[in-house]
Amino acid sequence: MSSPADLPPARPAATVAIVRDGEAGLEVLLLERSAVGAFAGMWVFPGGRVDDTDAGADDFERARTAAVREAQEEVGLTVDPAALIPWAHWTPPPVQPKRFNTWFFIAPWSGEEVVVDGHEIVAHQWHAPARAVEADLPMAPPTLVTLHQLLGFDRVEQLAGGPALGVERFATKHAPFDGGAVLMWHGDAGYDAGDPTLPGPRHRARLDGLRVAGYERG
């Protein structure tokens, strides 16, 4: 593992969770990535890095532009920039050379058909957040945490105001633990010290290799 000082800076990126009202409640679009490339084999939301051509006066506005572009490129869906709901911002730990500082947005489904390329994205499914969590699909931690955040919502209209406490910022700390590793975030008893063994509140994900093996908050 490289030292943090030797790693290149994280690149800006954007992700958008497309949501719709299903028969039984809120549903979110998940995409299965192919077995090669970044996030190989994982289930993700549409998204990708912010390109130099993405317009905007600052990183946040450029991320909004990128979120709209990625939804069109990856799944053929039109997203109204004005309908994007800023949801969270994720900063990865300095443990891998390829990292992304990522804005997460929520957007209502346009009603268009979802079209994937069969190469980079090989499948798609609409899931109730609870069903996606229970299915134990391979996901990156930010995807799983976002699904947990959506568990308290039943309809798209309930999301319109964004998170009740504002955009949540996840600055991830990585630490070895119990023969594996954990990722810790604000509110975890071990977060400030970087010590996952400290007793107290939990806000963390347990890792099994690159796979998330569990999420705890409370």
pLDDT over 80 at 12, yes or no: yes
Which pLDDT score, from 0 to 100, does residue 127 have? 96
For the residues 74-90, what does the mean pLDDT come to? 96
For the residues 33-55, what does the mean pLDDT come to? 89
> What percent of the chain has a predicted confidence (pLDDT) above 70?
97
Confirm whether pTM is higher than 0.75: yes
Which pLDDT score, from 0 to 100, does residue 4 have? 62
For the residues 72-76, what does the mean pLDDT come to? 95
For the residues 34-41, what does the mean pLDDT come to? 79
Which residues does 138 contact at the CB level (< 8 Å), separation at least 6?
41, 42, 43, 211
pLDDT over 80 at 87, yes or no: yes
The ranges assigned to domains in the chain are 10-170, 172-217
Confidence bin at 6 (pLDDT 50/70/90): low
Which pLDDT score, from 0 to 100, does residue 2 have? 54
Q: Which CATH number fits domain 10-170: 3.90.79.10, 3.40.50.720, 3.40.50.300, 2.60.120.430?
A: 3.90.79.10
pLDDT digits (tens, 9 = 90+) for 97-153: 778 899 999 999 999 999 998 888 999 999 999 999 999 889 999 999 999 999 989
Instruction: Report the mean per-residue pLDDT for the chain.
Output: 92
For the residues 25-30, what does the mean pLDDT come to? 97
Confidence bin at 5 (pLDDT 50/70/90): low
Lowest-confidence segment of 23-37, 59-73, 86-100, 153-167 by average pLDDT = 86-100
For the residues 183-189, what does the mean pLDDT come to? 97
